[in-house]
Chain A
């Protein structure tokens, strides 16, 4: 398999800096199901809804000016929705305006968005500090806040965002997190972009809020396509991202097929797909894999 590092991509026409606006709401997901097929198919274990369904609040993307809700995941990149939150794409030099509305009618808790990797003033930090922070870190139910961010020259890559309000502990445990994906000025967009967020949920270890094969995102690509994996962890544990049948090259030039990611750390890897078949991807911490942190990746022939 031919592999390329995330930064080792061919030159493309330079895009001019843009202002990118996103509308994101915190909305109830009253019956989020970590395992809709109600199975750990590999081990043949039946999972009951009382084990896998719980009420939570999630980030949900809307069309311009809160027109109507739309899918969080980029087209053809995942069968998943709602967890993680919208993939916020930009390019180095861009400004981002992220309009956040708190529609938490389930718990009536405050929420916020706190972004890693980008430049902003304190009023767009989105973190609650008593007596110090403003409304950005404590967006009350029914209220809206606009976060003003800039993708600097050091912002290329993928980065986390998450709730950092007074209710961040419950929110993160319930899936209020997502990713920024920022391309370099001349970096081409991949054909497929897959988001893999490792996080614990209750007694399970989840990828994008789902546990066990078939429930976790089913990623697909076609031989010849450039695929990018955006990998991140939330919670208090480290994870080791592994894809079967594939390798990629690290900045020091060595090939690897497993990489560690800790809480709020991220990395993006790319390769040009050459290997058709159905492959597993998973966290290689064995107890995590056995508790649900595993999924499938399907590569079709051209």
Chain B
């Protein structure tokens, strides 16, 4: 029974893998699955964008010439080169071993970029966390399944242990951390360490008010500091659902406010929860109201 607490399996990983997503935006991408580009670099008139990328050993990077000029992509050590790339041309190269790989344009040598190849990568957190609330970090490793990975955090006094996990069969790993303040995180496996990523931690408060007569109820929620566009969920504590159950969802408006209207035949405990974009991971929870006819 307890084994269901493991991370979701490869089936859902496949479901969640959009095609040709950038390496670190696609936490469920299988690094061993194919040579499909894991990261993309746009070649502009006078620069590579982004000029620096971190990829996993085994990842393929694709450069696309999005300018009207002809360019090239050539490794400083002459280990590989694209040749001339006219507008819309692209060039892909697979990086198999950890290294820092500087490259340049042979036609415009002032244009420089670098690919840093790692055995362990952490995905930069896309959303702020909350103090004392669990936050899941995602990563990938070019290491055997079962390899132990340590998560370390640095909030100003050097890296300290913040969690441990193991590499899944598809090369991914996840780790629950419990942040108290904004910190840098890195994943360490043996002698290999990922680049650090920052998790912003915000302490947001959620105030709620309820009003209404009879069965018609209104619940308003305000988040401070203001968090325009973040998802909030109205939950009722329902016996038939064995706990708190989402009954309505909204996004905070420009005033960091959300309003819910509902009709209830009975009286229930209610609360509003500010969540991550998954609509379920709590960042702030309101006090409990009682809504519905007395």
Contacts and interface: CB of A to CB of B under 8 A. Distances in A.
Contacts of B278: 31, 49, 53
A50 B8 CA distance: 8
B80 interface: no
Given A31-B279, A31-B280, A107-B18, A51 B243 contact: no
B265 to A, nearest CB: 13
A45 to B, nearest CB: 7
Given A51-B7, A203-B8, A298 B18 contact: no
Nearest to A174: B15
B16 interface: yes
B8 A54 contact: yes
A37 interface: yes
Nearest to B11: A173
Nearest to A31: B279
Contact of A53 (B14, B241, B280): B280
B280 A38 contact: yes
Nearest to B6: A203
Contacts of B12: 54, 173-174, 201-202
B15 A55 contact: yes
Interface in A216-252: 218
B216 to A, nearest CB: 21
A202 B11 contact: yes
A86 to B, nearest CB: 21
Contacts of B19: 107-108
Given A36-B280, A38-B280, A201-B12, A51 B245 contact: no
A48 interface: yes
Contacts of A204: 4
B136 interface: yes
A108 B277 CA distance: 21
B7 A53 contact: no
A47 interface: yes
B7 to A, nearest CB: 7
A45 B1 CA distance: 9
A107 B241 CA distance: 32
B254 interface: no
B240 A218 contact: yes
B242 interface: yes
A39 B176 contact: no
Contact of A203 (B9, B14, B15, B246): B9
Contacts of B243: 37-39, 41, 214
Contact of B5 (A47, A53, A292): A47
B61 to A, nearest CB: 22
Interface in B152-194: 174, 176
Interface-centre pick from B7, B18, B136, B278 (highest chain A CB count, 10 A): B278
23 contacts: A31-B278, A36-B246, A37-B242, A37-B243, A37-B244, A37-B245, A38-B280, A40-B1, A40-B4, A45-B4, A48-B136, A48-B281, A49-B278, A49-B281, A50-B174, A54-B8, A106-B18, A173-B11, A173-B12, A200-B11, A202-B9, A203-B4, A203-B7
Which 5 pairs between the two chains have the least Cβ-Cβ distance?
A214-B242, A49-B280, A41-B242, A202-B8, A214-B241
Interface of A: 31, 33, 36-41, 43, 45, 47-56, 106-108, 170, 173-174, 200-204, 213-215, 218, 290-292, 296, 298
